[in-house]
Structure 1
């Protein structure tokens, strides 16, 4: 199985080869990206018979115009935008008569049903899929993208670009769709119930979900003590959708290749000798079903589908020993065997500090200091100020959000973890494109994330609860605190890699005085404690685990071991 980085390099090379006329590369693109397009179009149109035509037109346009794509890293967002344009064009072409027509049984497969059957969804996950039937066309189009965003197949930037709006506007639109989806989930639950008044009301309903009956049934549910009595805890939709795979392309799914005035040589701008027979076969004959376990999608990333409780798959790379030159490759071995404990380990000798190479000491799992243990002294490093592309206070809530920091000074990264919205495995943020040096100097905020939720519940962790679920860190990850402090001398980009558990980051340029005040403010009450100083004042101060001087297409591919 390819790692994230290997898959990214593979897809970039494949796209470049296809643009240069390599038929096999073009075949691979068509086969690899057909499932993503099929899921977007299928869910947006809810399996209408026009799905075949829209998917076909999307793939043909992508093949025709592949030569115009300048940046291979943007292939996924470019392809998704083509699909959304075809969906909107199809809606404009339909006549009012056709808008109201019913699709004869067997002519098209209901996509909600396909989702339930092919992914074997049960309980509330099944409820979410069935609730999608009740959304209007425009809402279903956005849902098709948001579903894939939550599942880790798209970023918020790509969602906004596909719809043609800003990320801020996209956030508002997505929130409205989520609200309508929750109303629709209530309808699905109520229709499965035994309310006599609802049964009488629905006798006039023809059985086809639409906005009129959605509002009518929702109005009944709001005023009905029977239908509104939800004894089962309702899990937010985004938590249910995490880790759900793409719906496999059905074995009977066919695309009737209607070239019209085109010929096989029409694509010579992309493949010098025209489309290969393999591409034509993929577009004109039943597609081979794709396994739901792993899907090549996500523009240069190999997406492994996981349940919310599974830790993210990562390449196991372990930092070198302190005496190893920084340019030497990392030696394999379990991360735990190389863990450091800043609060318990003896300080390195002066000779060790003089000879230590920058980047040779990397953060790893440590033991928490006692809640009343004062921190070590915080060395004061030179600071002329740090500028941020996100301003004095950058807030990053979605996968793909990032901020570039430049200058010399201190930076605060404040964690906002939200298991009440989406719990499960967390993919750590990463530092990429590092120029200069970056140190992890201190932790503060009065709370370490694995502190007990309360003094009476010593088994619970601060990263969730039995009521809301838990956030799970990747194996070998340095336990973070509410406030993490870094020192930068150069420039670097910090990116949120949210995929699975819900979290956000606030990033502030700060000062040594502010860091010192935070970490020495005192233990307070409950889980609050003194901060932890990691800075030795030398180059052997830890660097972040997820940092590299490279700029990968997908920052989530940065290994756990730092590459500095």
Structure 2
């Protein structure tokens, strides 16, 4: 069906034509199924997310003003449901199956291989998807369809909620990680005995830990690293996916929707042996007698069980919060903080006015790369702020290893954020952690740990903090203030700290601490064997710097917080 026919069908469905609505659901269900299936890699939740996407699309169809934007609007709803599902799993990790595939779920990579009869490097690309992180797999689910001709770049960017230029950067980074994953698939298919020893205890299920270990082996193994340069050579993934068909919906997939007497839509598919690159669907059931009668909710069939939900009254968003991990460009302040031993760097003018409250602003900005003081310059005294107690949802010492890990701090006291960078596992662009939902005030009071991450050598004298030519470098976003091994902050209120690890590999330890502990750390300098003394930033007043990447808002994706630090 061409664009003109779809516009006509959408218009008729909005006007209440039940047959047109059935046709709309039947026609676009495969696209949604492919996006969700690949983003979740066939997890058992795929059916539920597809159901919820179509439910919201049909229930809010009348709010769509431009029929030409239907496809991007529908894809945006699907991506929103995927992210909502990810947030629910993060909030209740014990209530979900932690298995990446889910109990009784069909691995979508395997479905892609079998149903599209993929061989050779096309099969390799499909299998490599298993090794991607959730965020990359979500973006790939859209890019795959873009390359296959089912989506445009404009629609991809709109679904993710970013500009086309930003989308190009995100896609390029995802493709690089996909190529690494392809290398892992090739290496695992080789006969390298050293790799066999590395993976002796591997349970066979791809995850981030084993991805890092195997990738590290490949980089140091001439046999595995050269595997992709033998034989036919590696074809870029986009050339392999051009014109590739959608994965047919599995036999028995059932969709049944009822909307307050407005309509009831049921769809299921029957895939014949000759339909390996296509699909067919039949509408089942009565349009006038929904499976379960509801007036203010929706009922759909999922796995033989009826699920009753209450529709979201809010209109669907055409540009939901971004999945993005890359930072938008920010303006550099006109001057950097002074490298002197003053208790706090000189305030730099803000790149732009604060988008939040226009009154009761506090704190100077640190949205610039500060110059390291002389290693032999001892810091000035750290002003002492009230310490009535700080409660951490992560306990006395929270170790944050994965994207989305978060800790909420409440009270009045000091907190330590200790960095551990691991460029030998995964170098590249670093996505900074963020402070969200701030109520009260938050200050950046001191830096310590005996070294900055850009010092020429680490404490053991073996490597630099940000990496090296032999293992790669971790790269900070432009304008990011240089981190020290230990960064200290003061909380007066409540705030949530989120680890946004993606791209570069880093771990963070967050722990409430004391003024005494900070004072001892920042004064532990070259005379005691450290590379340098620490740095005091606190002047004891409200003009003390606030951290970068802090907001009073609570965004859906904490990694989207802007760099500016005026609150």
> Shorter-normalised TM-score: what interval?
0.5 to 0.7
CA deviations on 1:414-436 (whole Å, 9 max, x unpaired) are: 00111111111100000000111
The question of whether the paired residues in 2 share the 8 Å contact of 1:343 and 1:369 is answered with: yes
Query: Which residue of structure 1 lines up, in the alignment, with residue 136 of structure 2?
Result: 151
CA deviations on 1:426-447 (whole Å, 9 max, x unpaired) are: 0000000011110000000001
Query: Which residue of structure 2 lines up, in the alignment, with residue 167 of structure 1?
Result: none
Indicate whether 1:75 and 2:84 are aligned: yes
Query: Which residue of structure 1 lines up, in the alignment, with residue 431 of structure 2?
Result: 427
| Aligned mate of 1:554, from 554, 557, 561 | 557
Alignment of 1:232-247 (within 5 A): none
Alignment of 1:436-475 (within 5 A): 436-453=440-457, 461-475=464-478
Q: Separation in 1 of the partners of 2:49 and 2:135?
A: 23
Indicate whether 1:255 and 2:251 are aligned: no
Query: Which residue of structure 2 lines up, in the alignment, with residue 313 of structure 1?
Result: 326
Indicate whether 1:337 and 2:334 are aligned: yes
Query: Which residue of structure 2 lines up, in the alignment, with residue 134 of structure 1?
Result: none
Alignment of 1:390-429 (within 5 A): 390-429=394-433
> What's the CA shift for 1:365?
1.5
CA deviations on 1:137-180 (whole Å, 9 max, x unpaired) are: xxxxxx83x523373749xxxxxxxxxxxxxxxxxxxxxxxxxx
Query: Which residue of structure 2 lines up, in the alignment, with residue 188 of structure 1?
Result: 189
Query: Which residue of structure 1 lines up, in the alignment, with residue 503 of structure 2?
Result: 500
Secondary structure at the counterpart of residue 561 of structure 1 = coil
Indicate whether 1:516 and 2:519 are aligned: yes
Q: Separation in 2 of the partners of 1:29 and 1:79?
A: 26
Secondary structure at the counterpart of residue 514 of structure 1 = helix
| Aligned mate of 1:482, from 478, 482, 485 | 485
CA deviations on 1:22-57 (whole Å, 9 max, x unpaired) are: x89999996885454342576889xxxxxxxx9789
The question of whether the paired residues in 2 share the 8 Å contact of 1:316 and 1:559 is answered with: no
Q: Separation in 2 of the partners of 1:316 and 1:524?
A: 41
Query: Which residue of structure 2 lines up, in the alignment, with residue 39 of structure 1?
Result: 38
> What's the CA shift for 1:361?
3.1
CA deviations on 1:225-265 (whole Å, 9 max, x unpaired) are: xxxx9435869xxxxxxxx99x9695422536978997xxx
CA deviations on 1:187-237 (whole Å, 9 max, x unpaired) are: 523289xxxxxxxxxxxxxxxxxx9x9xxxxxxxxxxxxxxx9435869xx
Secondary structure at the counterpart of residue 335 of structure 1 = coil
Q: Separation in 2 of the partners of 1:150 and 1:111?
A: 26
CA deviations on 1:262-285 (whole Å, 9 max, x unpaired) are: 7xxx423399445699xxxxxx99
Higher RCO by CA contacts (8 Å cutoff, separation 6 or greater): 1
Query: Which residue of structure 1 lines up, in the alignment, with residue 369 of structure 2?
Result: 365
CA deviations on 1:489-542 (whole Å, 9 max, x unpaired) are: 111100000111111111111111111110011225887100011111111110
The question of whether the paired residues in 1 share the 8 Å contact of 2:398 and 2:510 is answered with: yes
Q: Separation in 2 of the partners of 1:416 and 1:58?
A: 36
Q: Separation in 2 of the partners of 1:527 and 1:44?
A: 49
Q: How many residues align?
A: 389
> What's the CA shift for 1:337?
2.1
Change (3 A) 1:386 1:425: same
Query: Which residue of structure 2 lines up, in the alignment, with residue 302 of structure 1?
Result: 322
Q: Separation in 2 of the partners of 1:315 and 1:491?
A: 27
Q: Separation in 2 of the partners of 1:86 and 1:116?
A: 19
Secondary structure at the counterpart of residue 86 of structure 2 = helix
Q: Separation in 2 of the partners of 1:452 and 1:117?
A: 39
CA deviations on 1:442-483 (whole Å, 9 max, x unpaired) are: 00000100000279999x842112222111000000000000
The question of whether the paired residues in 2 share the 8 Å contact of 1:357 and 1:540 is answered with: no
Change (3 A) 1:313 1:254: closer
Q: Separation in 2 of the partners of 1:39 and 1:492?
A: 35
| Aligned mate of 2:389, from 385, 390, 411 | 385
The question of whether the paired residues in 2 share the 8 Å contact of 1:545 and 1:560 is answered with: yes
Q: Separation in 2 of the partners of 1:550 and 1:35?
A: 33
Secondary structure at the counterpart of residue 517 of structure 2 = helix
Structure 1 gaps of 5+ residues are: 1-16, 46-53, 93-101, 119-127, 130-142, 155-180, 193-210, 214-228, 236-243, 278-283, 288-298, 305-311, 318-333, 350-354
Query: Which residue of structure 2 lines up, in the alignment, with residue 267 of structure 1?
Result: 257
Secondary structure at the counterpart of residue 302 of structure 1 = coil
Secondary structure at the counterpart of residue 516 of structure 1 = helix
Secondary structure at the counterpart of residue 151 of structure 1 = helix
Query: Which residue of structure 2 lines up, in the alignment, with residue 231 of structure 1?
Result: 222
Structure 2 gaps of 5+ residues are: 1-13, 60-76, 90-95, 140-181, 194-201, 205-219, 227-236, 268-275, 280-318, 347-358
Q: Separation in 2 of the partners of 1:497 and 1:553?
A: 13
Change (3 A) 1:499 1:87: closer
- CA-based RMSD of the aligned residues comes to 5.6
